[in-house]
Structure 1
Amino acid sequence: MKYSRYVVSIPKKEHTFLFNTKNNLAVKIENRLFEKIETDSKTRKQFYNFLYARKFLPERNELEEAVQMFRDRDVSTLRIIILAHGDCNFRCKYCYEKFVDCTIESQKSSILKFVKNKFEQYQFKDIHVSWFGGEPLLGYRDILDISKALIELSSTYGIRYHSDMTTNGYLLNSRTLSRLVTECQVQSYQITVDGTKEGHDNQRVLKNGHGSYDRIIKNLSNAQN
């Protein structure tokens, strides 16, 4: 079966993973299904319809439609990335960052002014704020403060507010997570775990050289609960 040029196929021993770069959908397919669709027309049709509905198959004017989809999304959504803190509590062996002990406390008014001006210039339906670092949770108090102000400003202009965070997860304890979700509407988190405990603790070390795996896994488990 021929997939869209924008679909990445990763075959494994028992499964094949398909990732659609157009809409960020991923599916895991048992390889025995591929064997079955060779002889079972009903299963083949169901599988085809499944992939077609999720845009995994080639489409007419595929490039033009994908470009237009991103244009439409960008027109209706204001996307900003905020560097919450310049330093990090980790010293990962492969990291390229130059750590600077800087915060955004003094930038609050400038951020709000920038967003307010954009709201008044364009007819946005949504705003999406991404928190980044260094390690953003070193600027936890500023995130709380600025998030509340941005949420209030968005509400005033009738614009939907969304937020995500890229964090190493070490400081994401239950209390911190609860406040970020409920007060700051940070509802999506990108957290890196480098394989097994041994491999992770060899690469993703704290400033003091100690490993971070157990603490991150504990925080992730608490988050799930």
Structure 2
Amino acid sequence: MTLDREASLEDNFNLQLIFTEQCNLRCRYCFEIDKGPRQMPLELAKRILERELTQEDDPSEYQVDLMGGDPFLFFDEVKELVEYFKLHTNKYNKKFYFVIGTNLTLLSPKIEQWLVENKHMVILATSLDGTREAHNHYRCDSYDTVIRNLPFYKQLYPDQGAKMTIGPDTISSVYDSIRHIESLGLPYVAANVVFEPVWGDIDNKKACLREFSHQLELLVEHYVHNSNLQVPNLLSLPIHKIVSSNDDDPRWCGSGTHMRAYDTDGRKLPCHRFSRFSTNKIYEGSKSIGPRVPTKCDQCMYVAACPSCRGYNWQVYGNPDSRTSYHCEFIKLQMLATAKLQYLLNKSLIDNLFSSGSPPEDVPGKTTLVTLQAANLIFNSLNEDCIIENCELG
């Protein structure tokens, strides 16, 4: 069995096992608000995975996420689970591989050797919030340990980047933090502002938005002059969907469709964000979902390109389709920055269109033209000053 991470969404299913709620860190922005000593029994994990891999109607490839907390607190159990299914791959008509989410502080020579021996079916995913100061502020002074283990991570998983979370206390270092992560040799940065209402009063939120706008401007200039680098998702929102999407149910992920989770008790969830230790609520299927609550997002023209967390929506409103909007103005600033970057990166194409009235033969593709159409719409409908001055707390 080999990893095929190029499989389309229709062919790939994301199965999440909340292996443990325990963690050796207490990151200040962590959405897992009710951590406890609970751990998924090994035999339960085996039964769930066995059942999933023998289903006939789901996609042909499974990405099995082992999540926490940090699963490496229970390395022996992780090892036994992976090796059990490694020995029985021929039983299943589905391909599968494991992704272990870890804060990268618990690696040891024993764990590293096992990962090397199983790199054909196990990869790691981790977080790094940028500079030492930014990372340590939210992530329990763990920077030095993460950096010490980073060479192993990069060598074994050269295609893996890092997740970076942005809060009000680190928003002034976004540019420096992304540049720092790039300097460490990681190929990409999956950065986002938090969805929760952490921005303080209205004046403090406006100050955060002004600073965020400045940081995005610095990043746009950086990627215009370094077009060989992979652009982080802060500046690569799918703005083409604003003008091309016919989806009545715009989703940012596969929660409830191409994604399913099981908590430590074996309860089936649309994704891990519906777990009790993330929401302090018990999810019991459709009977746990209340009526859809109207929000300001319902009539927003940008909603198809706007990230939303269905689990957090359910936590706040009792319905995953009722979008929270605490992060609204930050996303609009990202849309402006994405549009500006696309305009600058494709300036020669735009000049050609204006001069000849038609695209050149080597145009990069229809998506590029639709993206530029969306960029033009954004330029004509969004204004940075208005976004900031008219911001709301909810």
CA shift for structure 1 position 174: 4.2
Q: SS at 2:25's partner residue?
A: coil
Which amino acid is 1:100 matched to? G
Q: Which runs of 5+ in 2 are unaligned?
A: 156-394
1:56-113 deviation per Cα after TM superposition (whole angstroms, max 9, x unaligned): xxxxxxxxxxxxx53x31xxx4532112221111111112222211222x3x333333
Give the aligned length.
Answer: 148
Which amino acid is 2:78 matched to? I
Matched, 1:218 2:148: yes
Correspondent of 1:83 among 5, 18, 22: 18
1:141-175 deviation per Cα after TM superposition (whole angstroms, max 9, x unaligned): 11101111122233323543311122111012343
Which amino acid is 1:91 matched to? R
Q: SS at 1:85's partner residue?
A: coil
Q: SS at 2:111's partner residue?
A: helix
Asked if 2 retains the 8 angstrom alpha-carbon contact of 1:151 and 1:161, the reply is: no
Which amino acid is 2:111 matched to? T
Matched, 1:143 2:78: yes
Counterparts of 1:170 and 1:88 in 2: how far apart (Å)?
Answer: 11
Q: Percent identity?
A: 22
Q: SS at 2:124's partner residue?
A: strand
Give 1:197's aligned residue.
132
Q: SS at 1:169's partner residue?
A: coil
Matched, 1:100 2:30: no
TM-score calculated relative to the size of structure 1: 0.56
TM-score calculated relative to the size of structure 2: 0.34
Which amino acid is 2:112 matched to? L
**CA 1:170–1:187: 2 relative to 1, 3 Å:** same
CA shift for structure 1 position 114: 3.1
Asked if 1 retains the 8 angstrom alpha-carbon contact of 2:54 and 2:93, the reply is: no
Asked if 2 retains the 8 angstrom alpha-carbon contact of 1:144 and 1:183, the reply is: no
Which amino acid is 2:104 matched to? G
Asked if 2 retains the 8 angstrom alpha-carbon contact of 1:127 and 1:162, the reply is: yes
Correspondent of 1:114 among 11, 34, 48: 48
CA shift for structure 1 position 180: 2.9
Correspondent of 2:69 among 134, 145, 158: 134
> Please, what is the CA RMSD of the aligned residues?
2.7
Asked if 2 retains the 8 angstrom alpha-carbon contact of 1:144 and 1:180, the reply is: no
Asked if 1 retains the 8 angstrom alpha-carbon contact of 2:53 and 2:93, the reply is: no
Which amino acid is 2:50 matched to? K
Q: Which runs of 5+ in 1 are unaligned?
A: 1-23, 26-68, 206-210
Counterparts of 1:204 and 1:215 in 2: how far apart (Å)?
Answer: 11
Asked if 1 retains the 8 angstrom alpha-carbon contact of 2:19 and 2:71, the reply is: yes
Counterparts of 1:198 and 1:101 in 2: how far apart (Å)?
Answer: 30
